[in-house]
Amino acid sequence: MKLSNLITLKRFLPFLLILILVGFVSASVLIFHFVLVKRERNIEFENAVQLRTIQISNTMSLIITETRDIVMFHRMGSKRQFDGSLKKLNALIPVLDKRYKILNDIVENHPAQAKNIYSRQKELYFHWIHILQPILLRLTEYHNIVAGKILITPLVKQMEQLEKGYYSPSAIKEKKKQIDALDSLYRRYDAAYIIGSVIGFGGLAGVLFLILTREYILKDDAERYGSMFKENSAPILLVDAETGVIKEVSKSALAFYGYAYNELVGANVEKLNTVMPSEEQKEVRRRIIKGEIKYVLFKHRLKNGEIKDVEFFLTPITIKGRSHIVGIINDITDKKMLEDRLEESEELFSTVAEESLSGLVLYNEKIIYANWCVFDMLGYSREELYGIYIWDLFSEDSKEMVKQSVLRRLNGDKFDGSYTLEAIPKDKRRLLLSIHSTTVIYKGKPVGLASFIDVTEIKKLEEELEHEKNKFKELSEIDPLTGIFNRRRFESSLSDYMKVAQRYERPLSLIMFDIDHFKKINDTYGHQAGDEVLKDVCNLVKPILRNSDTFARVGGEEFMIICTETDVSAAKNIAEKIRSSAEAHAFNLPDRVTLTLGATEYRQGIGLDDFVRNADQAMYKGKIDGRNRVEVYQA
């Protein structure tokens, strides 16, 4: 090459280099502008979607918890906890609705970036607006009705489906892979520009521009996360997964723990979690980052020293290339205390039941729980007894009554009952149980609780005593010679009938008679013959009387007849039948046996003695007038 050519080339070389540098810088600017703008938009969109889906997922987790608590506290009758959960749910529903709308707007405004999630987001948003939100609003508006009847499991499954959406541990990992892929491509560009930097300023400028842009993007991400925490109404902590240092905290979390912002941010989370060992906390954070844990219970210490039971809903995220954990806090101290009390109550019930000397069962259609006395009385094994319908343990005459009583309880009818029923033990012996039952709530449903004792021997003794009592009563009210009622029964019955006649103004008559010359019969033929005459007279009178009449021997040869619903005229007819029957009867004596009878009717205001005296006076008049006749008392 000629010298002149070399000089010319050397002269133009700076211009050429400048031209190359300008071209390189221009190309770099164009490439960077295209790549970085597109990448920035993608990252901005991905961060916006990721942040909003975190908020939606965490808010939905809180709604699931409060919905469960509302139904549980309603069924347990815990009004204070119920009102608190209802208030939280009322606050969370509009928050979640707002976040859904924001996310939906983001997807609508970025169709190119959202093409992979567009249809899924529309489906989730439609499900929230038209299905789940109306159900939750009905629950809050008509909570006293809906909370008692809502099927919590299907509702929670619906909410968990929305909670998952497209924000799951697997989705996060996939997103992280995509970002890592972009970072890898970005590093290739770095290498190209580093090599190009030996050519000139363009390479160095490109590397510096790339570093500055990267720092800007990461800084922008951190600022957006910080803004999310400061604006969020839920208690939230952002923790560095490796060190456990608290990076950010929401205002409601500061209020919950009682610390100032600068007291918590920068401190290790072990300042709050003073119960769990440090190494165990590190293991928990490691498993959270791996996606193995999304929910955990801790005991956290507040600034005032109070220990609170808290549950954390956890989500791993990446900020500036480092793994962090977002934790939404839910105070469950009251709930945990209630669960501990329930557990203590169950243990107390079990202790009392097992030490009781009476049978104790908890039942619906079948036995849920039975203490040792039940197995001892009935003779069944646990497997046999728990497989029998409760009403099949009783005799046929009481089976239907027991069944209806059980069904009433299961339908929510609260009542107490005391019964003595015959049970059917395994050995088929006669077994009488004295049972007291009531309605209780078990696991949110009405069931029966019954205690009972074996009263078979007691009932047997009572039956024997009742038999003896009836026998004694019969002996005390029956005349042993004639077999008819005696004076005791006569006076008792007459007193009762007089009360009825006086109160309802019903007719009541009395007949009194004796055997004419009965003393002569005894003196002439002996007392044995007289006794036979007395019995024969009674046998003559009985067929003439009605079942409603009361026939009694009130003296040696004196008899009384109480005629209910009978006036004196009808009583006189009855007396005449008795007289004529005796007159016509052939007694086993040489002499004729006749009767003299007196009849009278009850008048309002007279007493028992006067009533009897009136009948006696009528009979006495018959004696004076010649015997063997019927006389009626004339006032």
Both 591 and 519 in a single domain? yes
Radius of gyration (C-alpha) of the chain in whole angstroms: 52
Both 541 and 619 in a single domain? yes
Q: What is the pLDDT of residue 488?
A: 93
Both 264 and 145 in a single domain? no
Alpha-carbon distance values, 282 to 269, 273, 277 (Å)? 11, 12, 9
Q: Which domain holds residue 195?
A: 20-219
Determine the 3-state secondary structure of 630 from DSSP. strand
pLDDT band, residue 10 (cuts 50/70/90): very low
The residue type at 392:
D
Catalytic residue among 557, 558, 565, 583: 557
Which among 219, 252, 276 is the end of a domain?
219
Residue 415 lies in a domain: yes
Residue 6 lies in a domain: no
CATH number of the domain bearing residue 407:
3.30.450.20
Backbone phi and psi for residue 324, each to the nearest 5 degrees, phi listed first:
-130, 165
Both 87 and 180 in a single domain? yes
Alpha-carbon distance values, 271 to 224, 263, 265, 299, 309 (Å)? 26, 10, 11, 12, 15
Q: Which of 224, 71, 214, 74 is nearest to 150 (CA)?
A: 71
Residue 430 lies in a domain: yes
Backbone phi and psi for residue 404, each to the nearest 5 degrees, phi listed first:
-65, -35
| Percent of the chain's residues with pLDDT above 90 | 24
The residue type at 149:
K
Minimum mean pLDDT range among 30-44, 311-325, 483-497:
30-44
Distance CA 225, CA 319 (A): 9
pLDDT tens across 374-401, in order?
888 888 988 888 888 989 989 888 889 8
Q: What is the pLDDT of residue 607?
A: 93
Distance CA 266, CA 119 (A): 41
The residue type at 163:
E
Q: SS in 3 state form for 119-149?
A: HHHHHHHHHHHHHHHHHHHHHHHCHHHHHHH
The CB density around residue 215, as the number of other CB atoms within 10 Å, is 11
Q: What is the pLDDT of residue 98?
A: 85
What is the DSSP track for 406-440? HHHHHTT----EEEEEEE--TT---EEEEEEEEEE
Residue 489 lies in a domain: yes
Q: What is the pLDDT of residue 430?
A: 86
Both 192 and 269 in a single domain? no
Q: Which two tokens stand for residue 599?
A: 């009849």
Both 240 and 212 in a single domain? no
Long-range interactions of 167-176: CB distance < 8 A, separation 24+: 167/50, 167/53, 167/54, 167/56, 167/57, 169/291, 169/294, 169/316, 170/291, 172/291, 172/316, 172/317, 173/291, 175/46, 175/50, 176/318
Q: What is the pLDDT of residue 221?
A: 53
pLDDT band, residue 522 (cuts 50/70/90): very high
pLDDT tens across 539-557, in order?
999 999 999 999 999 999 9
Q: What is the pLDDT of residue 7?
A: 43
pLDDT tens across 273-316, in order?
887 888 888 888 888 888 888 778 878 888 888 888 888 788 88
- Please, are residues 198 and 26 in contact by the beta-carbon 8 Å criterion? no
Give 576's DSSP letter. H
Helix or strand holding residue 57 (H, E): helix 3-76
Both 311 and 438 in a single domain? no
Domain count for the chain, please give it. Answer: 4
Examine the residue annotation and report whether 557 is marked as an active-site residue of this protein.
Answer: yes
Residue 348 lies in a domain: no
Both 492 and 608 in a single domain? yes
| Percent of the chain's residues with pLDDT above 70 | 72
Q: What is the pLDDT of residue 596?
A: 96
CA dihedral sign of residues 216, 218, 222, 227: positive
Q: What is the pLDDT of residue 226?
A: 60
Q: What is the pLDDT of residue 292?
A: 83
Both 437 and 414 in a single domain? yes
Pairing between strand 322-331 and 236-240?
antiparallel
CATH number of the domain bearing residue 500:
3.30.70.270
- Please, are residues 375 and 361 in contact by the beta-carbon 8 Å criterion? no
Residue 224 lies in a domain: no
Distance CA 56, CA 212 (A): 33
State mean pLDDT over 327-344: 72
pLDDT at 213 over 60: no
Residue 403 lies in a domain: yes
- Which is more confident, 342 or 404? 404
- Please, are residues 150 and 71 in contact by the beta-carbon 8 Å criterion? yes
- Which is more confident, 6 or 449? 449
Both 238 and 214 in a single domain? no
Residue 9 lies in a domain: no
Both 49 and 137 in a single domain? yes
DSSP H stretches of helix in 232-303: 251-257, 261-264, 278-289
- Which is more confident, 115 or 202? 115
Distance CA 244, CA 269 (A): 6
pLDDT tens across 339-363, in order?
666 566 566 566 666 667 688 888 8
pLDDT tens across 452-474, in order?
888 888 877 777 777 666 666 66
Average pLDDT of the chain, as a whole number: 79
Which among 459, 494, 517 is the end of a domain?
459
Both 205 and 276 in a single domain? no
pLDDT tens across 47-100, in order?
677 777 777 777 877 888 888 777 787 778 777 888 888 888 888 888 888 887
Alpha-carbon distance values, 524 to 92, 514, 558, 587, 590 (Å)? 114, 18, 19, 15, 11
pLDDT band, residue 29 (cuts 50/70/90): low
- Per DSSP, the chain holds a count of helices (H) and strands (E) of 21, 15
